[in-house]
């Protein structure tokens, strides 16, 4: 009231002053000033009523569930912040803070969920996974250099050429159906030795066999397989990434082959079964949101139909999709037609499948698992890296979508490939400056500290696969990359030190779909052979947790919707037996996941 009294006294003083200098119409001035004062009072009262109404609503809104009694790690801020309690209503968080305040939202039917010392975090987010790869790999045979833990079985590792050939032979004899193409995934030349069409012909003279490389960027086929699909050498003439005599198709050759053999993968009994297993893996690992950057891989209609059928089962997670600009360019007959198609994708959105607007995915250099990423200093054995997309075409595509204001995601693995993208962004930023463009590099197998600095200066971001270090560093430091580069894969701390937002992903099946395993690898930097490499690149556990929650949400531009525990955000949680910030770093990956909460609904594991 002091403010209003002060304003009124000022009004009288102005009238007195005007009168003293000879101005006669002070009554009119007085009335105008009083009117202004009354308007101020009215505005103040309206604001006060509005704020009071909000507070009353907030205080009286009844929660469906109130969580308390454990470590509730909100992931809000640059250091750990805990809430005593969290209240949810429907699919939203309505309160996070002190338990005494949360209890104001308690009603007759509110469930009081006592965590009993367990830890609750935002639901884990997997920003880069491929359902089509999961659906292809999981229902077929897996013979790889490392164990693969599936919901109901563990596929044991095999190492060495003779052991690998024996396992392949046994698998074909025991499981292959006569005349039906038999697929095996997981081969890698550094662990399993040479593979070729002739070798497969000796193992299976009449049975169609295709062996997909660990990278999922290559395939080897025998004669029976090539004949089954009526493949002709002339159909791939001039493609430098096809070795016809070896039955070997890689990178661009694999992309050219996929539409011709894709029907084999899109069978309801096998592809659908693969997606079912994928859903189980997602849930058992505490994931509530996945994103596929690069949809489709080979057939939009079939991939979408199978994915929708799986998601129509009301899963405890949701799927976001980012269009595959590389594949759609070829499928639709050019970048402009691909763009026109992308504008129609919202019609395919469902309650749990969403095409992210104004985002696009491209591919730069080759796969790290194939040692085909483009390296500045090449490879120690003299072989060459590969470009997945010709550099001039990729530059054209990036510039087109940059001008359109899109968030651009690009697959990039080697330092030469990464540098080409840094140069592209630098060029586009000079000609068409943008702020908060969030141009994101995915995977980033090997890069330099200087490149991390350049990325930071340009506002670029990163979504990396820490698992590369665990799976590849021992072998790559001996073959292909050498000690210095092989032991320095995925320099995460260099990115964080330059204030680059970093998320983690599996790129399933390039790593297990296990967010805690990815975090564990980044915190410890221990390899499959228990080597401790580049320990100066270890990061703290909280930064690792950010990479699978709030920064993973940022990677797909959803950090205002999910990724932390905050009033107004979606009620997605992962409940753990222990707090990742309080256990020994080497045990992070072994923490038991108890339950997920998806949009307010509990799903025990």
Tens-digit pLDDT profile for residues 278-307: 999 999 999 999 999 999 998 999 999 999
Class of domain 131-265 (CATH, top level) = alpha beta
How far apart are alpha carbons 510 and 524 in whole angstroms?
A: 19
pLDDT of residue 259: 86
- Mean pLDDT, rounded, for 219-243: 97
pLDDT of residue 266: 86
pLDDT category of residue 25 using cuts at 50, 70 and 90: low
The CA distances from residue 333 to 321, 327, 328, 330, in Å, are 21, 10, 8, 5
Q: 601: how many CB neighbours lie within 10 A of its CB?
A: 15
* 27 vs 212, residue with greater confidence: 212
Tokens encoding 533: 């490499």
Q: Reply yes or no on whether the pLDDT at 444 is more than 90.
A: yes
**Residue of 138, 194, 205, 197 whose CA lies nearest to 165:** 194
pLDDT category of residue 3 using cuts at 50, 70 and 90: very low
pLDDT of residue 574: 99
pLDDT of residue 13: 42
Mean predicted lDDT score pLDDT of the chain? 92
427-456: b (≥16 Cβ within 10 Å) or e: ebbeeeeeeebbbbbbbbbbbbeebbebbb
Q: Reply yes or no on whether the pLDDT at 11 is more than 50.
A: no
Tens-digit pLDDT profile for residues 354-374: 999 999 999 999 999 999 999
* 24 vs 248, residue with greater confidence: 248
Tokens encoding 352: 């749990």
Q: Do strands 82-89 and 65-73 pair parallel, antiparallel, or not at all (unpaired)?
A: antiparallel
Helices 300-311 + 268-284 axis angle, to 10: 50
Place of tokens 């499948």: 353
- Mean pLDDT, rounded, for 20-38: 52
409 phi/psi in degrees, rounded to 5: -110, 135
The strand ranges marked E within 343-500 are: 353-355, 359-363, 407-412, 440-443, 461-464
- Mean pLDDT, rounded, for 584-594: 98
pLDDT of residue 368: 97
85 phi/psi in degrees, rounded to 5: -155, 155
Instruction: Average the pLDDT over each of 159-168, 258-267, 533-542 and give the range with the smallest value.
Output: 258-267
pTM of the predicted structure, to 2 decimals = 0.89
pLDDT category of residue 267 using cuts at 50, 70 and 90: confident
pLDDT category of residue 28 using cuts at 50, 70 and 90: low
pLDDT of residue 45: 59
Q: 532: how many CB neighbours lie within 10 A of its CB?
A: 11
pLDDT of residue 38: 53
Tens-digit pLDDT profile for residues 391-417: 999 999 999 999 999 999 999 999 999
pLDDT category of residue 47 using cuts at 50, 70 and 90: low
Class of domain 358-539 (CATH, top level) = alpha beta
pLDDT of residue 49: 55
- Mean pLDDT, rounded, for 90-113: 98
The arrangement of strands across the sheet holding 318-323 comes to 124-126, 287-295, 318-323, 353-355
Q: 40: how many CB neighbours lie within 10 A of its CB?
A: 13
pLDDT of residue 212: 97
From the CA atom positions of the chain, what is the Rg in Å? Answer: 29
262-292: b (≥16 Cβ within 10 Å) or e: bebbbeeebbeebbbbbbebbbbbbbbbbbb
pLDDT category of residue 50 using cuts at 50, 70 and 90: low
Cβ–Cβ under 8 Å, residues 242 and 207: no
Tens-digit pLDDT profile for residues 59-90: 569 999 999 999 999 999 999 999 999 999 99
Tokens encoding 272: 């659908």
318 phi/psi in degrees, rounded to 5: -125, 160
- Mean pLDDT, rounded, for 112-119: 98
Instruction: Average the pLDDT over each of 252-266, 428-442, 544-558 and give the range with the smallest value.
Output: 252-266
The strand ranges marked E within 493-572 are: 502-504
Q: What's the sign of the alpha-carbon dihedral 244, 248, 251, 255?
A: positive
pLDDT of residue 263: 84
pLDDT category of residue 32 using cuts at 50, 70 and 90: low
Alpha helices in 78-156 (DSSP H): 99-102, 131-137
Q: 92: how many CB neighbours lie within 10 A of its CB?
A: 15
How far apart are alpha carbons 604 and 121 in whole angstroms?
A: 15
pLDDT of residue 35: 57
pLDDT of residue 510: 96
pLDDT of residue 304: 97
């Amino acid at each position: 009231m002091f403010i209003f009294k002060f304003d009124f006294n000022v009004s009288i003083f102005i009238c007195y002053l005007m009168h003293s200098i000879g101005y006669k119409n002070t009554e009119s001035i007085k009335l105008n000033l009083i009117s202004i004062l009354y308007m101020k009072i009215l505005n103040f009262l309206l604001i006060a009523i509005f704020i009071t109404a909000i507070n009353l609503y907030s205080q009286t809104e009844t929660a469906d569930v109130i969580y308390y009694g454990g470590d509730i790690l909100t992931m809000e801020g640059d250091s750990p912040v805990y809430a005593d309690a969290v209240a949810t209503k429907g699919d939203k968080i309505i309160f996070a803070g002190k338990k005494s305040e949360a209890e104001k939202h308690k009603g007759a039917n509110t469930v009081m969920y006592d965590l009993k010392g367990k830890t609750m975090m935002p639901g884990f987010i997997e920003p880069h996974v491929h359902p089509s790869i999961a659906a292809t790999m999981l229902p077929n045979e897996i013979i790889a250099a490392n164990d693969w833990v599936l919901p109901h079985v563990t596929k044991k590792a095999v190492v060495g050429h003779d052991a690998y050939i024996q396992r392949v032979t046994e698998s074909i004899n025991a499981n292959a159906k006569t005349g039906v193409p038999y697929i095996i995934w997981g081969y890698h030349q550094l662990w399993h030795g040479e593979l070729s069409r002739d070798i497969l012909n000796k193992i299976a003279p009449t049975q169609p066999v295709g062996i997909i490389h660990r990278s999922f960027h290559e395939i080897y086929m025998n004669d029976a397989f090539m004949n089954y699909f009526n493949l002709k050498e002339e159909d791939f003439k001039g493609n430098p990434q096809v070795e016809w005599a070896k039955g070997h198709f890689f990178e661009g050759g694999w992309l050219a082959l996929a539409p011709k053999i894709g029907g084999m993968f899109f069978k309801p009994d096998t592809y659908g079964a693969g997606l079912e297993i994928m859903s189980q893996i997602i849930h058992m690992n505490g994931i509530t949101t996945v994103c596929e950057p690069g949809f489709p891989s080979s057939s939009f209609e079939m991939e979408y139909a199978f994915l929708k059928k799986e998601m129509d089962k009301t899963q405890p997670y949701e799927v976001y999709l980012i269009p595959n600009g590389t594949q759609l360019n070829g499928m639709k007959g050019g970048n402009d037609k691909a763009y026109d198609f992308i504008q129609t994708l919202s019609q395919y959105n469902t309650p749990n499948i969403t095409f992210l607007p104004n985002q696009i995915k491209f591919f730069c250099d080759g796969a790290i698992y194939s040692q085909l990423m483009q390296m500045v200093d090449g490879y120690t054995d003299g072989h060459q890296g590969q470009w997945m997309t010709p550099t001039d075409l990729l530059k054209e595509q990036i510039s087109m979508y940059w001008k359109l204001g899109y968030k651009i995601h690009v697959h990039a693995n080697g330092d030469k490939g990464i540098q080409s993208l840094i140069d592209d962004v630098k060029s586009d930023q000079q000609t068409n400056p943008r702020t908060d463009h969030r141009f994101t590099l995915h995977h980033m197998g090997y890069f330099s500290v200087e490149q991390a600095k350049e990325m930071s200066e340009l506002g670029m971001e990163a979504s990396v696969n820490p698992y590369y270090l665990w799976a590849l560093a021992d072998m790559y430091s001996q073959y292909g990359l050498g000690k210095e580069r092989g032991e320095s894969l995925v320099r995460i701390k260099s990115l964080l030190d330059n204030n680059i937002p970093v998320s983690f992903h599996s790129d399933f099946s390039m790593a297990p779909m296990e967010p805690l395993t990815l975090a564990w690898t980044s915190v410890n930097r221990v390899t499959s052979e228990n080597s401790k490499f580049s320990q100066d690149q270890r990061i703290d556990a909280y930064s690792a947790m950010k990479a699978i929650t709030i920064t993973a949400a940022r990677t797909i531009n959803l950090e205002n919707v999910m990724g932390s525990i905050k009033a107004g955000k979606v009620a997605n949680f992962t409940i753990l037996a222990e707090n990742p910030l309080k256990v020994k770093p080497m045990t992070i990956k072994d923490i038991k996941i108890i339950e997920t909460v998806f949009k307010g609904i509990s799903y025990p594991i």
